[in-house]
Structure 1
Amino acid sequence: MNWQVRQLGEIAETALGKMLDKGKQKGLPQVPYLRNVNVQWGRVDTDDLLTMELADDERERFGVSAGDLLVCEGGEIGRSAIWHGQADYIAYQKALHRIRPGKSLDVRFLRYLLEHYSLNGTLAGLATGSTIAHLPQQQLRRVPVPVPPLNEQCRIVDLIEDHLSRLEAGQRWLSVGERKLEAFWLAALSASRRALVGAQFRTIGDVAETTLGKMLDAKRQVGSPTPYLRNINVRWGEFDLSDVQLTPLTDSEVQRFDVRPGDVMACEGGEPGRCAVWCRPVGEVAFQKALHRIRVRNPGEVLTSFLALMLEEAIRSGRCNRMFTGTTIKHLPQEKLRVIEIPVPALHTQRQAVDCLAELVGAQERLRAALANAAARIAAMRSSLLTAAFSGRLIAAKSSLPSAEELHA
């Protein structure tokens, strides 16, 4: 490869967007603007635009035109997309870089180069910040850019997009598979409940004790550091303990907010009712107020695993939607949780239902693992493709496979 390598600042114009002013409104015209979250890899999402004040004499400086490359300055640095234009004016804020390539550089070539540099660590080496990464403008301008002849850049981009269309079609099929797995599980839950013909229905408050967890108080830090469960730790049917935090609790609070084997932990907000059965030893964790602890009164009458499955069915079928409070963030208050009705058949019937659904969970987990493995292979192939493209090794002709649209039909 005999391509000349230039710094980005030598062959493109770069600029950061408008710094937002959180002070008093000045009565200037309001204009829509793009934020970091609007720019994803290869696309600009305009479904959630905010507005800001912008003086008429700043419109050109902070405007976005068709063909501009928008690049995230913070967070996932380098994440970028080409703006293809729209009829109405739109600005951009300081969390984004605007790149306008010179005549020697194809904007599509640069967009894929930045993705390649994001994957191989080049951009991370230019970043600043320890907690949240940033790519300052002076560092962006130092990005090394190989500059083959323009017609060669176009040929490389065409080959990249030809191959990526197959990978992206495959990724869409994997997403379809995920959705079908989820729909199959919900259908199985619903069928399991319908099969319990003649079972008595009882409220959760009748068969179990429920309580909310510890209200955290930053001003009152008394007791020993104790691991505690948060909303984010409770997933459907399992716990994610990769990020368990500590909070000071007194001895009496440790006893009051303990989590025992067989307790059903359910989310109070966010995705209300999302629940899982705790199976680890007593005394390992407490729980905060964002969670309900459901403790069956008589395990010889109701299996906790059965209760959790029937609660999941009641929540995810939509029958409990009327019980949620809140407009932006939904909540399931304790008094509402206690009146949710579940079927309570004979204990052996509960065991049969749990065992049957457990077999489906096992099959579902194996399929999810296969889908995850396929997704990882697609990601690896995408990375390898970009590496080949920008090292001058992507020389094959376009694939003779059907187009992505044909694959997805």
Structure 2
Amino acid sequence: MKVRLGNYIEEYSKKNKADEDIPVYSVTSTQGFCRDYFGKEVASKDKTTYKIVPQGCFAYNPSRINVGSVDWQRNEERVIVSPLYNVFSVSEELDQEYLYYYLKSDFALQRIRAVATGSVRDNLKLEMLKEFPILLPPKNDQKTIANNLDRVKRIIELRKSEIDKMNELIKARFVEMFGDVMHNDRKWECKQFSDITTSRLGKMLDAKHQTGTCKYPYLANFNVQWFRFELDNLNEMDFNEKDREEFCLEDGDLLVCEGGEIGRCAVWHNQVKKCFFQKALHRVRCNQDIILPDYLAWWFKYNCENGGFAAIEGAKATISHLTGVKMKMLDVTVPAIELQEQFADFIKQVDKSKVAVQKALEKTQLLFDSLMQQYFG
């Protein structure tokens, strides 16, 4: 039977008025309750207005709950959160983990977005949340549902951890073979980026000139992650015959992000036939007699992780955009092609294992999604 959520939750409104030394936490969509999200930003702030969250209580950012920034506090006896947060306690009839999964479900998120839309910054007040309907089986059944979802979620996390460890293995192999490519401690030959590659930015999206007569899928910045592509629900736009010649993607192309996370890149292997790319991306084609795209992708990764592009903007630690001009002027360490080929072969072997784990991850994620739909849809 569906019941009103407000019958089982109540605002918890105690503040840290005594300025006690209580750990400061935030709530994110991916990590839930976590420390140090704002780094040193809150270290010197007056925290007497911060809200106390005892163990077992929920907290959420009213303008971020629409993307899943909500969690229950299971880390410490008490923590404090920003005064912007809403904090509430839960009655004994409602299991916290069951409620957590409900608030993360598509049903709840769609309702949150619908109810919050139009208010200030799509702000979901606690009084709005109290009006939500929730299916409330007996407490033991709630715990069983939460335990089932916990088990599947742990498997998903383990699969993701496996993939992360494989990437760490490739990273370690890169350093073992090529050393510190940023400071070139192995004294490899250096070449200017423009001398060993050809590159160009993608097509600008011009909504006024979209006719829909020759639409094709394209990659945008968010589609390119480190060493992989997010290809679900690709956007489309018009590419005429000239555009298709100019902006086509070919096997072995390296797609490099111009903005956002500067230098993030992945090697294209014709995952989608007749696919193109948008202006926020550089398409890089390597002279493969000199440099291989797999090596160059990890060269970008090493530099991104170690501040290798900081000099482009002087004292700044990061750069806002890696323009075509700046990229063409980069100095690239170029090891012997035979070593690059050995590294590329190593990547291929690891990638075979990654593909198997990725398929298992996708199946497990599908199971999790179907269970969420079954329990809360």
| TM-score interval, smaller chain | 0.5 to 0.7
Q: Verify: 1:321 aligned to 2:321, yes or no.
A: no
CA 1:192/1:211 → structure 2, altered by over 3 Å: closer, same or farther?
Answer: same
CA 1:166/1:217 → structure 2, altered by over 3 Å: closer, same or farther?
Answer: closer
Give, in angstroms, the shift of residue 369 of structure 1: 5.9
Q: Verify: 1:240 aligned to 2:230, yes or no.
A: yes
Give, in angstroms, the shift of residue 190 of structure 1: 1.9
Q: Verify: 1:218 aligned to 2:235, yes or no.
A: no
1:278 — aligned with what?
268
Secondary structure at the residue paired with 1:182? Answer: helix
Could you tell me whether the CA contact under 8 Å between 1:276 and 1:308 is conserved in 2? Answer: no
Among the aligned pairs, what percent are the same residue? 20
Could you tell me whether the CA contact under 8 Å between 1:6 and 1:147 is conserved in 2? Answer: no
Could you tell me whether the CA contact under 8 Å between 2:255 and 2:284 is conserved in 1? Answer: yes
2:220 — aligned with what?
230
Trace 1:191-270 onto structure 2 (pairs within 5 A): 191-194=176-179, 200-221=189-210, 224-270=214-260
Give, in angstroms, the shift of residue 72 of structure 1: 7.6
Work out the CA distance in 2 between the residues paired with 1:217 and 1:82.
46
Q: Verify: 1:190 aligned to 2:175, yes or no.
A: yes
Could you tell me whether the CA contact under 8 Å between 2:30 and 2:69 is conserved in 1? Answer: no
1:404 — aligned with what?
none
Give, in angstroms, the shift of residue 125 of structure 1: 9.8
Give, in angstroms, the shift of residue 293 of structure 1: 1.4
Give, in angstroms, the shift of residue 292 of structure 1: 0.8
Could you tell me whether the CA contact under 8 Å between 1:214 and 1:287 is conserved in 2? Answer: yes
Q: Verify: 1:114 aligned to 2:105, yes or no.
A: no
Letter in structure 2 aligned against 1:114: L
Give, in angstroms, the shift of residue 205 of structure 1: 0.8
Letter in structure 2 aligned against 1:187: A
Work out the CA distance in 1 between the residues paired with 2:147 and 2:210.
59
Work out the CA distance in 2 between the residues paired with 1:281 and 1:116.
34
Letter in structure 1 aligned against 2:99: L
Letter in structure 1 aligned against 2:166: L
Secondary structure at the residue paired with 2:218? Answer: strand
Secondary structure at the residue paired with 1:341? Answer: strand
1:289 — aligned with what?
279
Q: CA RMSD in A?
A: 5.5
| Equivalent of 1:342 in 307, 330, 333 | 333
Could you tell me whether the CA contact under 8 Å between 1:40 and 1:81 is conserved in 2? Answer: no
Give, in angstroms, the shift of residue 333 of structure 1: 2.4
Number of matched pairs = 340
Work out the CA distance in 2 between the residues paired with 1:284 and 1:213.
14
Secondary structure at the residue paired with 2:262? Answer: coil
Work out the CA distance in 2 between the residues paired with 1:241 and 1:145.
37
Could you tell me whether the CA contact under 8 Å between 2:53 and 2:73 is conserved in 1? Answer: no
CA 1:249/1:91 → structure 2, altered by over 3 Å: closer, same or farther?
Answer: same
Deviations 1:300-352 (A, max 9, x none): x2354455345345435526232565778743222332223131524x55433
CA 1:184/1:10 → structure 2, altered by over 3 Å: closer, same or farther?
Answer: closer
Q: With the length of structure 2 as denominator, give the TM-score of the two structures.
A: 0.62
CA 1:283/1:147 → structure 2, altered by over 3 Å: closer, same or farther?
Answer: closer
Could you tell me whether the CA contact under 8 Å between 1:5 and 1:144 is conserved in 2? Answer: yes
Deviations 1:174-233 (A, max 9, x none): 776555433222111122324997753322210111111222333454684332221122
Trace 1:6-405 onto structure 2 (pairs within 5 A): 7-10=4-7, 12-13=9-10, 43=33, 47-48=37-38, 66=54, 69-70=58-59, 75=66, 79-82=70-73, 91-92=83-84, 99-100=88-89, 105-106=91-92, 109-115=94-100, 117=102, 123=108, 129=114, 137=128, 140=131, 142-145=133-136, 179-194=164-179, 200-221=189-210, 224-280=214-270, 284-296=274-286, 298-299=287-288, 301-302=289-290, 304-309=292-297, 311-312=299-300, 314-316=302-304, 318=306, 320-323=308-311, 330-338=320-328, 339-346=330-337, 348-366=338-356, 372=361
In structure 1, the gaps of 5 or more residues are 16-33, 52-59, 388-409
In structure 2, the gaps of 5 or more residues are 13-23, 43-48
Work out the CA distance in 2 between the residues paired with 1:90 and 1:375.
35
CA 1:190/1:217 → structure 2, altered by over 3 Å: closer, same or farther?
Answer: same
Could you tell me whether the CA contact under 8 Å between 2:264 and 2:301 is conserved in 1? Answer: no
Secondary structure at the residue paired with 2:207? Answer: coil
Could you tell me whether the CA contact under 8 Å between 2:53 and 2:59 is conserved in 1? Answer: no
Could you tell me whether the CA contact under 8 Å between 2:101 and 2:146 is conserved in 1? Answer: no
Give, in angstroms, the shift of residue 373 of structure 1: 8.1
Letter in structure 2 aligned against 1:308: L
CA 1:229/1:162 → structure 2, altered by over 3 Å: closer, same or farther?
Answer: closer
CA 1:47/1:77 → structure 2, altered by over 3 Å: closer, same or farther?
Answer: closer
Work out the CA distance in 1 between the residues paired with 2:229 and 2:157.
28
Could you tell me whether the CA contact under 8 Å between 1:263 and 1:294 is conserved in 2? Answer: yes
CA 1:279/1:138 → structure 2, altered by over 3 Å: closer, same or farther?
Answer: closer
CA 1:307/1:336 → structure 2, altered by over 3 Å: closer, same or farther?
Answer: farther
CA 1:210/1:11 → structure 2, altered by over 3 Å: closer, same or farther?
Answer: closer
Work out the CA distance in 2 between the residues paired with 1:70 and 1:188.
43
Deviations 1:349-378 (A, max 9, x none): 5433322332233344445666x4897699
Could you tell me whether the CA contact under 8 Å between 2:229 and 2:266 is conserved in 1? Answer: yes
Q: With the length of structure 1 as denominator, give the TM-score of the two structures.
A: 0.58
Work out the CA distance in 2 between the residues paired with 1:266 and 1:190.
21
Larger radius of gyration: 1
2:17 — aligned with what?
none
CA 1:174/1:217 → structure 2, altered by over 3 Å: closer, same or farther?
Answer: closer
Could you tell me whether the CA contact under 8 Å between 1:202 and 1:342 is conserved in 2? Answer: yes
